[in-house]
Amino acid sequence: MIQKNSPLPIYYQLEEAIKEAIQNHELEPGEMTPSEREYTEKYEISRMTVRQAISNLVNEGYLYRQRGKGTFVAHKKIEQPLQGLTSFSEDMRSRGLEPSTRVISFTEVNADHDLAAKLEVEAGTPIFELKRVRLADQQPMAYEMLYISKDLALGLTKEIAVTSIYSYVETTFGLKIQHGRQVIEASIAQKKEAEMLEIAEGAPVLLIERISTLDTKKPLEVVRSVYRADRYKFTMNMERLS
Ligand code: 16G
């Protein structure tokens, strides 16, 4: 409730009231919030105050605006720890989310110099190129371009790529995926990526490149992924260096 005689600013009280409504599931993720006018009338406060509260909540990631449509409740971001080499399927399941995959294309290409160097194969070696949209509870989270040595993923098909590649490689061939090197950069969604991720072109995304290697030190995959920045955040633990 909003108390006009409270020392707390009214916009702040409204922010708290909206956050509470989200916590109590009165407002669900993806749902449109009441309009500025509705809040103005409900609490008998000025439109400027409502605007300020909503802007603050947008900046803090609780709400998001869609041009021409309105303001909506944001989905909680997935927190991905930056330690432990895990697969998308494992990550989602460990959070109680159902992973699924849309295979956009599955082809054989010849490794260019960059990929060949990363996969430690000769340039021109045939490798698999796999483009997949990874979803959690039916919502697109990431668009992945995966390059994998053919000899380490023999028999890989589109049908298998719908499930877990890590589990295929590990259970079918008894390979041990051991090490990963990952680089994360901020960017904005290009047209194709935006389409795949069902976000606006130009929306913020995180570009991730991962090279993972087997216990034998042989590189297994080079994966370039585009993650939705509105749904993902990365966390890490740090020790103070002496
Ligand atoms: C993650 C990995 C990707 C790996 C995939 C395997 C990142 C940035 N990328 O998406 O490198 O190929 O998991 O997932 O985390 P899967 O076993 O479910 O196919």
What are the structural domains of the chain? Answer: 10-73 (1.10.10.10), 78-235 (3.40.1410.10)
CB 89 near ligand 1, within 6 Å = yes
Ligand 1 nearest atom to the CA of residue 161, by list position:
19
At residue 32 the predicted structure's pLDDT band, cuts being 50, 70 and 90, is very high
> 24 CB contacts (<8 Å, ≥6 apart)?
none
- Mean per-residue pLDDT for 139-161? 94
- For residue 33, what are its two tokens? 């919030």
Kind of pairing between the strands at 219-228 and 78-81: unpaired
Name the phi and psi angles at 129, rounded to 5.
-120, 125
- The answer, yes or no, to whether residue 175 has pLDDT greater than 90, is yes
Give the confidence band of 167 by pLDDT, cuts at 50, 70, 90. very high
* Strands 126-136, 63-66: pairing kind: unpaired
How confident is the model at residue 83, as a pLDDT? 87
Alpha carbon of 87 to ligand 1 centroid (Å): 4
Q: Stretch 51-58: mean pLDDT, rounded? A: 96
Residue 215 has pLDDT above 90, yes or no: yes
Angle at 164 between CA 162 and CA 169, to 5 degrees: 120
- Is the CB of residue 101 below 6 angstroms from any atom belonging to ligand 1? no
Whether ligand 1 lies within 6 angstroms of the CB of 146 is answered as: yes
**Could you write out the DSSP letters of every residue in 130-193?**
EEEEEEETTEEEEEEEEEEEGGGSTT--HHHHTS-HHHHHHHHH---EEEEEEEEEEEE--HHH
**213 close to ligand 1 (CB < 6 Angstrom):** no
Read off the pLDDT of each residue in 18-29 and give the average, rounded to a whole number.
95
Among 39-43, 67-71, 229-233, the range of highest mean pLDDT: 39-43
According to DSSP, residue 32 is labeled: B
Which of these, 134, 151, 219, lies nearest to 180 by C-alpha position? Answer: 219
